[in-house]
Chain A
C-alpha cells in the first residue's frame, strides 16, 4: 500500500506534467505566425522613383451576401438571372472563391479584406479579445488603404464590419444578426440606403452586407422555398447598382463586387470544411471589364459539385482589389493577384503588378525566415537545393530576365511558391518540442499507471480490462480522421455496450433488469436527440424534425423537466423542523430559470414557442433577459450559501448523511445547467438525472464500475447535447446569460459550462454515486465487524484499519483512475497530431480535436473532475 501523502504527490505531479505536456505541444503545434504592423505604402514595393501600375477604378461597391454559395449565383436553378446575363455579356467576371475553414463570417471578412488566412486559432484569439478590441485597426486591409488614400467609405448591413473597422466609415447603418428568424427586415434595412446613396457623390466605397440569405439557410436549408425569392431580391439589388453604374456619370469608374463570405452545407449550416461551405460565389462587374473579352456561359456546369468557373482563394480578393484601385497590397496578404485582370494594363505594368505581389509576399517570408533577405541580396543563384535558396533563385532569374512574358511567368511562380511556404502548415512545426511534449505526457501516464501496477485498483478483473479496453481503443481511434469527426459514434457504441453489461450484472444479481433496459431506452433517445459530427450534421433528429415541429410537446417536456427539478430540490431541502423551507426555496430558482428560458426563446427562437404561450413570453421578455439570468444565478448562489453555512453545519445537531448533504447541490447544479442549455436540450438533462437515479439504485459494488459509467456518460452527454469536435459546433447562445458588458472571464466560464453542461452534470452525479457506494461499504464493514466481534476479536483491528472505502481513499482512487484515462487520451491525441501533421485534414480535423482535447484535460479534467469533485466530496463529509 502506497502512503496517502505519496499518492497526493503522485496525483499532483502527474497532472502538472500532463498540463505541461499539453501546453508545450500546443505551442509547437500552433505556430505563431509573424504579422506585420502598419499600413503598406507604395514605396514598400517599388524602388526609388518607380511608379505603380495605374488604377483602373476609382470607386468600389462591395456587396457581400452572407452564405452566398457558388451555385446560388451560377447554377441552373438560380434567382440571379440578371447577374447571369451580365456574365454572358462579358461585363461580369465570375469565380468560385475558396473559403478556408472556419467558414464563419468574421474570419471570412478578415480573409476578404486583409488577404490573410485566419485559422481557427484566430477564432479563439478573437473570442479571447473583447468585442471591441477584436478589430482590424492594426492590420493592413484594403479598407484602410482606401481611407489612407483620402477616400470615403460607407457601410450598410451586418455590424460585424463596424466592430472590425471602427471609425473607418463616414455613414453606417449596422444590422444585428440576432434574430435568425428574420428574413426580410434585416435586408430591407440595408436596401433602403442603396437608392439614395447611389445618387450621392461624396463616397468612394460602399459596402453592403446582406444577412437574409444566411438566415434562410440556417432556418430552412439551401433548398428552402424562401431561397429563390431571396436570390431574386439580391439580383434586383445587383441590377439597381449596375444600372446606376451605367447611367450615372459619377459612377462610371466604379468596380462592383458581388461576393459570398462562405457557402453552406446541405443542412444550411456553415463553419466546417465541406465543399458546400467552402465554395462562395465571387463576381467582379463593370462595363470596363468588357475589354477582357471573356466568354463565359451562364448558368454554368460545375467542374465538381460546387466549383463553377475558375476556383480562386478568397485571399486573392485583397491584392486584386487594391491593384485595380491603384493602391498598395495589404501587408499581411497571402493572396495572389487574379491574373484574369492583367489584360487591363499594358505589358510593362503587368510585369510590375506581378513583381509587386511577389515583393509583398517575400517580405512575409523574410519575417519568418531571417535568412531570406540575405539570399535575395546575393543577386544571383547560389545553386543550393534548399527551399529558400531555390525560391531566391527564381526571384533572381525573374529580375535578370529581359523577356516580359518569362518575367511574368517567373514572378507568378515565385509568388505561388511563397504562398505555399506561408500557408503550408508543415514548415513551421517544431517537431522536437512536440516529441518532448509527448514524452512528458507519457511520464505522467506512467506515473498514473503505477496506481494500477503498484497499489492495485480494487474490483473485478473484468472491469479493469474494460477500463483499459475503453482507454486504449479510444486512443487508437484518434488516428482515424473520420472517427475524430464522428467521435459520438464511438461513445454511443461503448455506452450501449456498457448498458448491456449493466443489464447482465443486474440479472446476475437476481433483479428484473428493468433499470438497465430503461437506461438503454433513454440512451437510444439521447443519441438521436441532436445529430452531430460531420457526416450527419443536419440530418433528421428529434430536436429538428420533431420538437421544432411540435413546440407544445417540447414545452410539456421542459415543464416536466423543471417539475422534476423542483421536486428533487424540495425533497432534499426539507428539514425536520421546517416543512416550509423546502417548497419555498425550491420553487424560486426553478420558476426563475423556466421564465428566463421562455424569455430567451421569445427573443431568439420564436418558432419554439406555441402560439398560446407567445403573449406570456413577450410579457416576460419585456424584463431584460440579463436581469432575469442574474436573478436565476443569484437565487442559486443564495441557496448554495444557505446550504453551506446553515443547513449542512448541522444546526439541529443531528448528523445528516453525506449523500443527503450532497444531493441539494446536485439539484442546484441541474437548474444552473438547464439555464445554460439550449431549450431543446433541457429534456435531455432530465433524462440524465433519471439515469443517475436508476444507476444509483443498481448499487454498484466497486468504484471502477462507477468511474466507467462516469467516463462513458460524460462523453455521451457531451456529444448528445449537440457538440462535436468541430469549432463550428461551439454553442455561444448561452455564453452571455446575465452578462451585460463583455467580460472575458465570465463569458469564458459560461461558454464552457454551456458546452460541457452534460459532462459537468455527470461528474456531479458521479460524486453522488460514489457517496452512496461509500455508505454501502461502510455499512458492510460495520456488519462484518459486528460479526467478527461476536467471533474472534483479534482480526477486527486489521480489517477496520484498511483505508478502502474511506473518503480520502475514494477520492484519490477516483482522481487516479480519471487521470489515467485523461493521460491515455491526451497522449494519443498528441501522438496522432504529430504523426498526421502532414495530413490533408490537419487544420480541419486534428487541430480542432487538439483544442477540444485541451479543454477536456485542462478545464474539464482538472477543474471539474478533480477540483469540483474534491470540493463536493469533502463538503459532504
Chain B
C-alpha cells in the first residue's frame, strides 16, 4: 500500500512537471531552433518522446479502465491499472509511440500541407513538425484509446468528451494553427522562419490545452 501511494505521488509529480519540462526544453533550445529548425527538431524529438513515454506510462490509464469509470474517477482507476505492471505500461507507451508516428506523421503532414505548408520546399521541416505534433498529441491519445475505429472517429470529429489528454491534443492542434499568424508580418525576424512559430504554438497549445481539458471535463463541442 505504501508503495502505491509512493507511486501515485510520483505520478502526480510527473503529471505537473511534464508540461513545464516540455516548455522549458523548448525555451532552452529556442536559439538553435531558430538558427536551424530541422536539426534542432530532430534532436529535440527523442527528448519529447522520452518525456511523453514516461508521462503516458506513469500518469495515463488505458481505455479499458477509463471506459469502466466516469470522467472524474478516471485517474483513480487508472492508477489501479498502473500499479499492476509498470513494465507493461512502458511497452504500451512504446507501441503507442510507434503507431502515433507511423500513422500520425503522414496524415498530419498531409493536413499541414492542405492548410498551407509549403509543398515545394522545406519538406523535412514540415515532416518534423508533423512528428512533434504526433508525439505530443497522438501518443497519449493512442495510449488512452488504443486503435478502436469508432473511438478515433469520435476523436477526429470532436465527439469525444473532454479530458486532460484530449484537451492537450486539441490544444496542440489549435496552437499549430494559431502559430501561423505571425509568419506574414514584415518584421524579418529569424523566428518567423517555417515552422518555428508552429512548433511554439504546438508546445504552448499542448500545455494550455491540458489545463483547458481539465477545466472543461466531459464537455462536447456541437457543430450541428
**Are A and B genuine complex partners?**
yes
Contact with A along B199-224 (1 / 0, CB 8 A): 00000000000000000000001111
Q: How far is the CA of A700 from the CA of B4 in the complex (A)?
A: 53
Give the residues from 509 to 523 in chain A that come closer than 8 angstroms, CB to CB, to chain B. Answer: 509, 513, 517, 520-521, 523
Of B116, B120, B224, which contacts A492 at CB under 8 A?
A: B116
Chain A min CB distance to B24 (Å):
29
Answer whether A527 and B153 are a contact pair too, CB < 8 Å, given A483-B184, A505-B224, A508-B223.
no
Contact present for B184 and A462 (CB under 8 Å): no
Give the residues from 173 to 211 in chain B that come closer than 8 angstroms, CB to CB, to chain A. Answer: 177, 180-181, 183-187
Contact with B along A459-481 (1 / 0, CB 8 A): 01010000000000000000011
Q: How far is the CA of A616 from the CA of B4 in the complex (A)?
A: 85
Q: Which one of B46-54, B129-137, B155-163 contacts A?
A: B155-163
Of B113, B120, B185, B224, which contacts A508 at CB under 8 A?
A: B224
Chain B min CB distance to A489 (Å):
4
Contact present for A485 and B186 (CB under 8 Å): yes
Contact present for B186 and A508 (CB under 8 Å): no
Q: Which size class do A's interface residues fall under?
A: 20 to 34
Contact present for A462 and B222 (CB under 8 Å): yes
- In the complex, whether A540 has a CB less than 8 A from a CB of chain B is yes
Contact present for B153 and A701 (CB under 8 Å): no
Give the residues from 471 to 507 in chain A that come closer than 8 angstroms, CB to CB, to chain B. Answer: 480-483, 485-486, 489-490, 492-493, 496-497, 499-501, 504-505, 507
Contact present for A496 and B116 (CB under 8 Å): yes
**Which residues in B have their C-beta under 8 angstroms from that of A524?**
113-116
**Which residues in B have their C-beta under 8 angstroms from that of A485?**
186
Contact present for B223 and A504 (CB under 8 Å): yes
Among A504, A520, A527, find the residue whose CB has the most chain B CB atoms closer than 10 A: A504
Chain B min CB distance to A856 (Å):
20
- In the complex, whether A535 has a CB less than 8 A from a CB of chain B is yes
Give the residues from 122 to 177 in chain B that come closer than 8 angstroms, CB to CB, to chain A. Answer: 153, 156-159, 177
Chain B min CB distance to A708 (Å):
12
Contact present for A482 and B224 (CB under 8 Å): no
Contact present for A493 and B180 (CB under 8 Å): yes
Give the residues from 91 to 115 in chain B that come closer than 8 angstroms, CB to CB, to chain A. Answer: 113-115
- CB < 8 Å A-B pair total: 69
Of B116, B184, B224, which contacts A509 at CB under 8 A?
A: B224
Q: A487's closest neighbor in chain B, by CB?
A: B184
Contact present for B186 and A504 (CB under 8 Å): no
Contact present for B186 and A481 (CB under 8 Å): yes
Q: How far is the CA of A517 from the CA of B111 in the complex (A)?
A: 9
Contact with B along A205-218 (1 / 0, CB 8 A): 00000000000000
Contact present for B224 and A483 (CB under 8 Å): no
Chain B min CB distance to A215 (Å):
28
Chain A min CB distance to B157 (Å):
3
Q: How far is the CA of A497 from the CA of B180 in the complex (A)?
A: 11
Contact present for B224 and A701 (CB under 8 Å): yes
Chain B min CB distance to A508 (Å):
5
Contact present for B114 and A504 (CB under 8 Å): no
Contact present for A462 and B221 (CB under 8 Å): yes
Contact present for B181 and A493 (CB under 8 Å): yes
Q: B158's closest neighbor in chain A, by CB?
A: A504
Of B116, B120, B156, which contacts A493 at CB under 8 A?
A: B116
**Which residues in B have their C-beta under 8 angstroms from that of A501?**
223
Contact present for A482 and B156 (CB under 8 Å): no
Q: A519's closest neighbor in chain B, by CB?
A: B114
**Which residues in A have their C-beta under 8 angstroms from that of B222?**
460, 462, 508
Tell me what chain A mostly uses at the interface: helix, strand, loop, or mixed: helix
**Which residues in B have their C-beta under 8 angstroms from that of A507?**
153, 156-157, 159
Answer whether A482 and B116 are a contact pair too, CB < 8 Å, given A462-B223, A497-B177, A508-B157.
no
Q: A502's closest neighbor in chain B, by CB?
A: B223
Of A504, A513, A527, A540, which contacts B116 at CB under 8 A?
A: A527
Among B113, B177, B186, find the residue whose CB has the most chain A CB atoms closer than 10 A: B186
Chain B min CB distance to A363 (Å):
40
Contact with B along A531-557 (1 / 0, CB 8 A): 001010000100000000000000000
Q: How far is the CA of A493 from the CA of B158 in the complex (A)?
A: 21
Of B177, B184, B223, which contacts A489 at CB under 8 A?
A: B184
Q: How far is the CA of A302 from the CA of B181 in the complex (A)?
A: 36
**Which residues in B have their C-beta under 8 angstroms from that of A505?**
223-224
Contact present for A486 and B153 (CB under 8 Å): no
**Which residues in B have their C-beta under 8 angstroms from that of A460?**
222-224
**Which residues in A have their C-beta under 8 angstroms from that of B158?**
504, 508
Q: B117's closest neighbor in chain A, by CB?
A: A524
Contact present for A482 and B185 (CB under 8 Å): yes
Q: How far is the CA of A505 from the CA of B223 in the complex (A)?
A: 5
Chain B min CB distance to A488 (Å):
9
Chain A min CB distance to B111 (Å):
8
Contact present for B159 and A508 (CB under 8 Å): yes
Give the residues from 731 to 752 in chain A that come closer than 8 angstroms, CB to CB, to chain B. Answer: none
Chain B min CB distance to A725 (Å):
13
Contact present for B157 and A482 (CB under 8 Å): no
Contact present for A482 and B120 (CB under 8 Å): no
**Which residues in B have their C-beta under 8 angstroms from that of A486?**
184
Of B114, B185, B186, B187, which contacts A496 at CB under 8 A?
A: B114
Q: A480's closest neighbor in chain B, by CB?
A: B185
Give the residues from 686 to 738 in chain A that come closer than 8 angstroms, CB to CB, to chain B. Answer: 701
Contact present for B184 and A520 (CB under 8 Å): no
Contact present for B114 and A482 (CB under 8 Å): no
**Which residues in A have their C-beta under 8 angstroms from that of B120?**
540
**Which residues in A have their C-beta under 8 angstroms from that of B119?**
528
**Which residues in A have their C-beta under 8 angstroms from that of B221?**
462, 504
Q: How far is the CA of A504 from the CA of B223 in the complex (A)?
A: 7
Chain A min CB distance to B224 (Å):
6
Chain A min CB distance to B170 (Å):
11
Q: A505's closest neighbor in chain B, by CB?
A: B223
Q: How far is the CA of A505 from the CA of B180 in the complex (A)?
A: 23
Chain A min CB distance to B114 (Å):
5
Q: How far is the CA of A493 from the CA of B184 in the complex (A)?
A: 11
Contact present for B186 and A520 (CB under 8 Å): no
Q: How far is the CA of A222 from the CA of B49 in the complex (A)?
A: 49
Q: How far is the CA of A481 from the CA of B184 in the complex (A)?
A: 11
Chain B min CB distance to A500 (Å):
8
Chain A min CB distance to B181 (Å):
7
Contact present for B153 and A520 (CB under 8 Å): no
Contact present for B157 and A504 (CB under 8 Å): yes
Q: B174's closest neighbor in chain A, by CB?
A: A497
Contact present for A483 and B185 (CB under 8 Å): yes
Of A480, A496, A504, which contacts B115 at CB under 8 A?
A: A496
Q: B120's closest neighbor in chain A, by CB?
A: A540
**Which residues in B have their C-beta under 8 angstroms from that of A483?**
184-185
Contact with B along A545-583 (1 / 0, CB 8 A): 000000000000000000000000000000000000000
Q: How far is the CA of A535 from the CA of B185 in the complex (A)?
A: 10
Q: How far is the CA of A480 from the CA of B180 in the complex (A)?
A: 16
Q: A473's closest neighbor in chain B, by CB?
A: B181
Q: How far is the CA of A441 from the CA of B184 in the complex (A)?
A: 29
**Which residues in A have their C-beta under 8 angstroms from that of B181?**
493
Q: How far is the CA of A533 from the CA of B185 in the complex (A)?
A: 12
**Which residues in B have their C-beta under 8 angstroms from that of A517?**
114
**Which residues in A have their C-beta under 8 angstroms from that of B180?**
493
Q: How far is the CA of A524 from the CA of B184 in the complex (A)?
A: 17
**Which residues in A have their C-beta under 8 angstroms from that of B184?**
482-483, 486, 489-490, 533, 535
Q: How far is the CA of A490 from the CA of B116 in the complex (A)?
A: 11
**Which residues in B have their C-beta under 8 angstroms from that of A504?**
156-158, 221, 223
Given contacts A504-B223, A507-B156, 11 further A-B contacts (CB under 8 A): A462-B222, A483-B185, A492-B116, A493-B180, A499-B114, A501-B223, A504-B156, A513-B157, A533-B184, A535-B184, A540-B120
Task: Please list 9 pairs of residues, one from A and one from B, whose beta carbons are closer than 8 Å in the complex, sorted by A's number.
Answer: A480-B185, A492-B116, A493-B177, A504-B158, A505-B223, A507-B157, A508-B158, A521-B114, A524-B113
10 A-B pairs with least C-beta separation: A507-B157, A482-B186, A505-B223, A489-B184, A486-B184, A496-B115, A520-B114, A482-B185, A508-B157, A504-B158
Residues of B whose CB lies within 8 Å of any CB of A are 113-116, 119-120, 153, 156-159, 177, 180-181, 183-187, 221-224
